[in-house]
Amino acid sequence: MKSLEVLDARVTAIAVRNLLLLLKAKKLTYGSLGRIYKDINSRLQDELSLIQIFVMDGSKAKYFEPGTPLFGPEAADKFPLAIPDMEDAGKCLAFGQGTATVYHLMRVMEYGLRAVGAMLEIPYAPSWESYLSQIRKKAEEKRVAKTIDWKGLEPFFLLVEGDLTAVKLVWRNPTMHIQRRYSVQEAEEIFSAVRSFMMRIAPQVPPSPSVFD
């Protein structure tokens, strides 16, 4: 019955409920059961002809209905405004829409990059290379200054630099704007790289519900 509700096959559901009542009351003969079965089958075929059903690759189902947040619970907690794009990136990937997946990942990355930039007082930049060069420059300045707080943060920013390099490589695009189409395989690679980046920074950055303000 639940499957019929999902399909919105209401007429068929009514017929099935009536059949169950007859079975419970023990008022069926083999002949009437056969006729009712044919009627239910006919109704279901008619109702299915009115809808479209998408069959999802089993390996992609984890992106459509994940048991836990796709980018980790801490990233979801730190970037609540990014959750819709995180979820939409997963849904688009599940349905094989590579370019749409990358579009949502681009938006997720902006939240993360702006949060990291705020930690280093780096202004918004339109390209990966710009962010990477500014992070390297700021990191070197702090390394030379040898501040106490930087000693604890330096390993983190070195890893962030590596994550951003990985994202840049799989993105295959010098800017953070979509200028071409992406295959599902490319989108999945980018998804993995962005996910690693967001999970990396989530424990370190402060809660940033409005990093675009």
Q: Do 64 and 14 share a structural domain?
A: no
**For range 37-65, the mean pLDDT:** 86
User: Which pLDDT does position 185 carry in this prediction?
Assistant: 92
Q: Do 82 and 169 share a structural domain?
A: yes
User: Which pLDDT does position 213 carry in this prediction?
Assistant: 46
User: Which pLDDT does position 4 carry in this prediction?
Assistant: 83
The residue range of the domain holding 15 is 2-48
Residue 207 falls inside a structural domain: no
Of 100, 82, 104, 88, give the one whose Cα is nearest residue 202: 82
117 vs 177, residue with greater confidence: 117
Q: Do 193 and 101 share a structural domain?
A: yes
Q: Which two tokens stand for residue 135?
A: 């992070």
Domains: count for the chain: 2
Q: Do 32 and 132 share a structural domain?
A: no
Q: Do 69 and 153 share a structural domain?
A: yes
Q: Which residue has the tokens 């010098």?
A: 174
Q: Do 157 and 93 share a structural domain?
A: yes
- What SS3 class is residue 127? strand
Residue 177's pLDDT band, with cuts at 50, 70 and 90, is low
Cβ partners under 8 Å of residue 71, min gap 6? 82, 86, 108, 194, 195, 198, 199, 202
Q: Do 28 and 117 share a structural domain?
A: no
Q: Do 37 and 133 share a structural domain?
A: no
Q: Which long-range contacts (CB under 8 A, 24 or more apart) does 60-63 make?
A: 60/93, 60/94, 60/95, 60/96, 61/94, 63/90, 63/91, 63/93, 63/94, 63/191
Query: Within 13 Å of residue 21, how many CA atoms lie on the same side as its CB?
Result: 6
Residue 210 falls inside a structural domain: no
Residue 70 falls inside a structural domain: yes
Residue 7 falls inside a structural domain: yes
User: Which pLDDT does position 212 carry in this prediction?
Assistant: 46
Name the percent of the chain lying above pLDDT 70.
92
User: Which pLDDT does position 211 carry in this prediction?
Assistant: 46
Mean pLDDT computed over every residue of the chain: 84
Residue 106 falls inside a structural domain: yes
Q: Do 116 and 66 share a structural domain?
A: yes
The pLDDT of residue 18 is above 50? yes
Q: Do 26 and 69 share a structural domain?
A: no
Instruction: Give, in degrees to the nearest 5, the angle at Cα 70 between 55 and 114.
Output: 130
Plot region of 26 (φ>0 → left; ψ -120 to 50 → alpha; else → beta): left
Question: What HEC string does 145-208 produce?
Answer: HCCHHHHHHHHHHHHHHHHHHHHHHHHCCCECCCCCCCCHHHHHHHHHHHHHHHHHHCCCCCCC
In tens, the pLDDT along 76-113 reads 999 999 999 999 999 999 999 999 999 999 899 889 88
Q: Do 177 and 82 share a structural domain?
A: yes
In degrees to the nearest 10, what's the CA dihedral of 139, 134, 121, 146?
20
198 vs 23, residue with greater confidence: 198
**For range 111-128, the mean pLDDT:** 81
The pLDDT of residue 28 is above 80? no
Q: Do 169 and 97 share a structural domain?
A: yes
